[in-house]
A and B are shown apart, each in its own frame.
Chain A
């Protein structure tokens, strides 16, 4: 779409103001991370520190008792990358199966998938823990990674809905050309659901990055902690807190998700499948 110059200026002014409003919290977080410790609360309304306190980043990065944030970041990356790859790949397969093949029990498995999303975590945490204990998986990354290789309901459903926007005639045409279902998936559907896969990957990356309840329960030793969990360790109601360090690391922990989003968002809109067939 093309716009005339005055229209374009108006567009940028309005959207720009709105964007500024939206990123206020991030600015606030970043500003707080640069404030001296005693200023964070007393001048919380202000976005400008009286002086820039980069030492917060040093003191925060030191972490706890010799385990630094370098370790926490490394752990996060291992968990997040592996589980994201697993979740997207397996979800794409399952979504295709549910959306484009007819088989006995299909409706049941779709319902089971939806129901999995509706049961509150709190009541399955304990039996799940007992189960993983029996597997001998405690204190390792396995409970945090392996289950994601079996499809994530949210992504399965998301990808399914995208597959359903693809005209069925394409499948038929491919079949006539001699493609099997596997061929249809790989040659026809896969190239067209790029935006859905990228979207899933972005979400998965962020959710796994932000998840702290599972690491909290399954990991014991601090040198296995991911960033999300380490951030929570800073605070304690009754003692003097290293607020500056906490805010500094909170800001730093946002960087990977923001970068990942910024890199991948353009694939959502520009599409990785511009050569795909059109309806």
Chain B
């Protein structure tokens, strides 16, 4: 042991004396393993071979099927090699930022609605219009509404891969067993309060908004004909703080009566389906996006769960089809045409979508949706049916959130905590939210 160690040290000491080449020599041995791929990078000389980089976030199942779809595409286009880059959601954005700075974004980038404005308005994303016009990116079977979700400042910078809609989940069997009334499709906030009361009496709770007021407060604003952000994205979009006060007053009443899970218990959740309160049998309902239904419903094996619309009044005005995620093409990409071809394949190819199976949201292509129906599981079919219903019972989505919205959402979350922990009166929180949010937006929209 000692001899080996001193030998290494002696060696380095000697090489160190001759100008410190320790770094240089190790450098060679380190790069030995990856010399091969490095050389292929520069082999893009001839016309035919194409190399595309594609990046997405997700978990194991998404990685697995996406890699299979890529393999399928490579088989059909032998000249194309696709290099996948994938990461979990949080890490994905940390990885993407330096790539953008160095001008080395992947050709195809999976985009999220909350980051879309950041990247688009700072000229990182290519305009897809020329490709949809030429048909390279075939959007013949995609509705105008779904396409619009990828526009920023009138430019199509991201292609919607699927849609979700807000929904409530009911554990119908448990409700029936306990004599709890199952609300109708056109239920209201008052009905939700009653549901909470009935559930509480039987020792259950109902699903609350957890920390996601950034989703449900804008929904409420839409139901009363208001919106979260102004059109130019420079200020808060609603004029009267009464909306804020009404929304949180109602929620706080439910919270204080113990209808919904207390915040300290909510805080220890990691956001995985396994800890969902319905799965645990504590709650008779849940509230969230339609795609979240699948994991929860699959875990509850002994009783069926059902999707129901959100409470109203004004459900139709409030509901909208949310682009679940997008593919964008980097402005810096040198192979935009080839990238567009792949995206076109991804959203239109039936066989590919049999692998994807709506995991990235209910597909935007009507043809794909029809083709998938026969192979869906019962729970998947419920989601498709609900989203199809929502297509004709919703209103166009708001434009993607302005820059600074991530910070505004954090502010809303912090204030909601203060409200529920009774650290601040609601009207004061409403005023503070307006003041601070406007300051954030003003700072971000310089």
Contact = CB atoms under 8 A, between A and B. Distances in A.
A and B in direct contact, judged by CB atoms within 8 A? yes
A139 B37 contact: yes
B274 A41 contact: yes
A260 interface: no
Contact of B1 (A191, A240, A267): A267
B294 to A, nearest CB: 8
24 contacts: A65-B63, A65-B66, A78-B30, A82-B26, A85-B8, A85-B26, A89-B9, A126-B101, A129-B99, A149-B22, A149-B26, A190-B6, A197-B5, A216-B95, A220-B53, A220-B83, A222-B86, A233-B63, A234-B59, A236-B58, A236-B88, A239-B58, A239-B59, A239-B61
* B contact patch SS: helix
Interface in B9-60: 9-10, 12-13, 16-17, 22-23, 26-27, 29-31, 33-34, 37-38, 53, 57-60
* Closest 4 pairs (CB-CB, A-B): A236-B59, A65-B67, A129-B98, A41-B274
A241 interface: yes
Contacts, number: 170
Contacts of A40: 274
Given A90-B22, A93-B16, A267-B1, A125 B98 contact: yes
Contacts of A224: 34
B66 to A, nearest CB: 8
B87 interface: yes
Contacts of B294: 239
Contact of A217 (B27, B37, B67, B94): B94
Interface residues of B, number: 64
Contacts of B89: 236-237
B91 A232 contact: yes
Contact of A130 (B1, B67, B102): B102
Given A92-B9, A243-B274, 13 more contacts: A65-B66, A93-B9, A93-B16, A126-B101, A149-B26, A197-B5, A212-B91, A217-B98, A221-B37, A233-B60, A236-B88, A239-B58, A240-B299
A122 B81 CA distance: 33
Interface string A3-34: 00000000000000000000000000000000
B419 interface: no
Interface of B: 1-2, 5-6, 8-10, 12-13, 16-17, 22-23, 26-27, 29-31, 33-34, 37-38, 53, 57-64, 66-68, 83-89, 91, 94-95, 97-99, 101-102, 104, 106, 270-275, 291-292, 294-295, 298-299, 359
